[in-house]
Amino acid sequence: MKCMMAVAAILAMLALPAQAQMGGGGGRRHQGNDSGSEPKKPQVDEKAYKAALDRIPDPKGKYDPWGMTRPASSDKK
């Protein structure tokens, strides 16, 4: 009998964190604005977008993200 109570207590302790993560308790739900309208998204100006892309400078050389961690090129055989 004590063994069954211990198993039930362990299962209850394991279930509580899962219930807290899933948000299944207390009957409290998000009380947001139920107006049904979505927030307005800013409109993107295509000319401004293309102008911004044109202002990005071209790279002078090939980018090497591991350049600082590798040994110098003279060590290569």
Query: By three-state DSSP, how is residue 69 classified?
Result: coil
Of all helices (H) and strands (E), which one includes residue 65? none
According to the model, what pLDDT value does residue 51 have? 92
Of all helices (H) and strands (E), which one includes residue 47? helix 46-54
According to the model, what pLDDT value does residue 23 have? 61
pLDDT in tens, the chain (77 residues): 888 889 999 988 777 666 666 665 555 555 555 555 666 777 778 999 999 999 999 888 888 888 888 776 665 55
Residue where the block lists tokens 């050389």: 61
Which tokens is 27 given?
């009957």
Q: Cα separation of 62 and 60, whole Å?
A: 7
